[in-house]
Amino acid sequence: MSIISLGFAYVFLGWSFFVLAVQVIGITNLYRYYARPAPTPASPALRDDEVPHITILRPVKGLETDLYECLASTLRQIYPRNKITIYMCVDSTNDPAYPTLRKLLADFPKADARVFVETEDPLLHGPDGHVNNLGPNPKVRNLSHAYREAKGDIVWVVDANIWVGPKVGGRMVDKLCGFVAGGGRAAAYKFVHQLPVVVDTVPPRQSARQDEAQGLLSGESEDALVFAQKESILSHVKKHGGGRLEEMFMATTHAKFYGAINAVGIAPCIVGKSNMWRKSHLLKLTDPNRNPHVNRCPDGLSGLDYFSRYICEDHMIGDLLFKSPIAGFKNHGLVQGDIAVQPVSSMSVKAYIARRVRWLRARKWTVLAATLVEPGVESLLCNFYFSFAATTIPWLSQALGIPQTWRAMGLTWLVGVTTWMVLDWFVFGKLHRGDSTEVDLDTPHFARGTGRVGGLQKRPLCEWLAAWLGRELLALPIWTWAVLLGTTVNWRGNRFKVRPDMSVVELDHAGAGKAPCDRGIMQQGRGVQRTTTPEVEGGLGARSKDRFD
């Protein structure tokens, strides 16, 4: 046995135990907090002058799945009516979602709600505005006007395709401000967020069953019907299988690591689905006169607008708040038990792959080390590491009773992958059962969970297994394509090149884009990495119906 092989074996062993520890923490956290509804929030019951005001911002683009129900969930929050404002933001009145927004205003006339239209933003349009006053980030441009008009200090940004429970707003405020039952106070946070879970609302064999019924009614032959059914199933998988892959990823690998990292709290780990913070904190931290570790924007942009030249504004906001000490406030707080539910439908496998590639390319420069080692946290490769170590290190092989042979290595790998799969089955079932979700008459079917009447059906084992294997087998090819073989992303209908400082260059439209902040977000010092930001080229072109994530 060579020293090199033995060295790799010890490295693989150490990595395997690290991943195992993260899995144990993540699974324990999920079973501990997502088994029952969280306690009733304390903040809505405070005296009127003590209840913080929330401004909820919903960035909208196109007709998302169950858009009405997702947006209505914030209009149905159980929170003092005079202390909550909902701003729904859309880029133009020609957007297909605009009629839905107007209907919501009509259906909830007592709500303090308003629709903001980007093309009516005076900062970007009109005699004193200019389209290049903000960078090309479409989500920031969409939210900018509403953010500037937000009432109070607390803002809660919830993507348009997210449904939240009626008491989530109160619990988010409790976590952010440190309110507890009985009038006590706990530690306050700079930033709070929710665990996101995706639910595919398309029945897996619906198309095939409809074709079969049509065939029987029309008197087709049995052979022709069987052929049509097989063809329809394959076609259905290609057209709709991406939703199952996405929900599998979010309810297994992502949920375990999201829960573990946030439980330990050693690094910022957020997804921009449902996030709450204070405007005053972000304004201070993006002002170089008040925060010496942030670089100045030549445009003088601050607050949310500061991030308009960059991709991954959600991570960058969370990262800035995490790394910038503010006396009396802890970093990030995950609101345990409450799930941000994202319904999807008709997501093709191709769309799933494109979405994962976009996500990886957008985030690889924000968390480069984590991105580079990501394949090693997946079941197939991680179990290869362990099986290699178990059949290469003499004392470990003897302790486990595993022969040092290729056959033993293969069997060890198979046992490890099977065990991993079984654990994922339980974790997936726990989250999709919706035990921690509070259900009332207004709760839509996709948010009720598989354990309640009116909810979605539990995934049959064979279908669940097919989705699990599909996701695991695609993980490494997707990572290779995204991280090693390109730097461009299709973002809101345009192609952008992502630069190492996380700024973006628009490739499809010519324009005189303005320079972002001189050297990125943070300077070197006090554990904060220094970045360099070249000039951003191009303006903001036409957008597609792609989502804001």
Question: Residue 289: what residue type?
Answer: N
CA 523 to chain centre: 27
Q: Which residues pair with 525 in a beta bridge?
A: 528
Q: What is the DSSP letter of 196?
A: E
For this structure, is 314 an active site residue?
yes
C-alpha to C-alpha distance for 8 and 72, rounded to whole angstroms: 54
C-alpha to C-alpha distance for 183 and 437, rounded to whole angstroms: 25
Question: Residue 197: what residue type?
Answer: V
Exposure string over 64-89, b if 16+ CB within 10 A, otherwise e: bbbbbbbbbbbbbbbbbeebbbbbbb
**Which of 116, 71, 114 is CA-nearest to residue 92?**
116
Which position among 121, 314, 338, 501 bears the catalytic label? Answer: 314
- Helix residue ranges per DSSP H, 391-487: 394-400, 406-433, 461-479
- Helix residue ranges per DSSP H, 40-124: 67-75, 98-107
Q: In what order do the strands lie in the sheet with 84-90?
A: 113-117, 84-90, 54-59, 154-158, 274-278, 188-200, 329-344
| Dihedral sign of CA atoms 259, 263, 266, 267 in order | positive
- List all residues 6 or more positions away from 490 whose beta carbon is below 8 Å from its beta carbon: 354, 358, 546
C-alpha to C-alpha distance for 10 and 15, rounded to whole angstroms: 9
C-alpha to C-alpha distance for 166 and 41, rounded to whole angstroms: 11
The H or E element spanning position 336 is: strand 329-344
**Which residues carry out catalysis?**
314
